[in-house]
Amino acid sequence: MTSFSEDQMHRPLFEEPSAAIERPDQWSEPLGFLVGGGANQRYQHLGQQYYNAAEQLVESIKHQDIADHDVANPVLYLYRHSIELFLKAIMLGAAKTHSLDTLADEYRDFIKDEFGSDCPEWIITRMKELGAIDPNSTAFRYNMTYNKQAKTDEPVPGEFHVNLHHLKSAMTALNVALVGTIAMVACGEGKSAQ
């Protein structure tokens, strides 16, 4: 059994930064995180963190460090949330919603308005596919969705298999597309730059 010192049990998790946390590089001790204040990150960077975390879990599955079924929902949630954050990074005036259906429709309109071209349909299809299973960002976290009309939690409808390799490939393609859109907007390639 692991033992914990009295100091460990009473030490706060969130401490004021001090010189004691300075380190020469990202791999040196003390390992940890800065949260809040100057460490607050934009949606784009948060989206990439969630995507990277999903990728690490997928790699752990592929290397048989962890069983696929033991991290299925976290992987799906991390990918889904990364997409939501990227969409909100692209469309700063996006609806305050977790609905990928709504955000996908707004993205399609944004691409048309901003670049004068149609969004590749596979991008919208992927977003709506995730949105159909997890419409409000609760299904992958709780295995439940909230039915607003009935005011009840309901289990995810149906039963589906998700091929890990196909999921990784599809999420990689979607990540490239969304990050590419962010770069195009940042470089002023759309009409709002004119």
pTM: 0.90
Q: Whats the size of the chain, residue-wise?
A: 194
CA distance 17 to 7: 18
Contact 100, 88 (CB under 8 A): no
148 in helix, strand or coil?
Answer: coil
Strands (E) located in the chain: 144-147, 152-155
CA distance 36 to 40: 5
Q: Output the tens digit of pLDDT for each of the chain's 194 residues.
A: 777 888 888 888 889 999 999 999 999 999 998 889 888 889 999 999 999 999 999 999 999 999 999 999 999 999 999 999 999 999 988 889 999 999 999 999 999 999 999 999 999 999 999 999 999 999 999 999 888 889 999 898 889 999 999 999 999 999 999 999 999 988 888 776 55
31 secondary structure, DSSP code: P
CA distance 72 to 135: 17
16: tokens are 């004021």
- DSSP for 44-94, written as a single string: HHHHHHHHHHHHHHHHHHHTTSS-GGGSHHHHHHHHHHHHHHHHHHH-TT-
Q: Other CB atoms closer than 10 Å to residue 173's CB: what's the count? A: 14
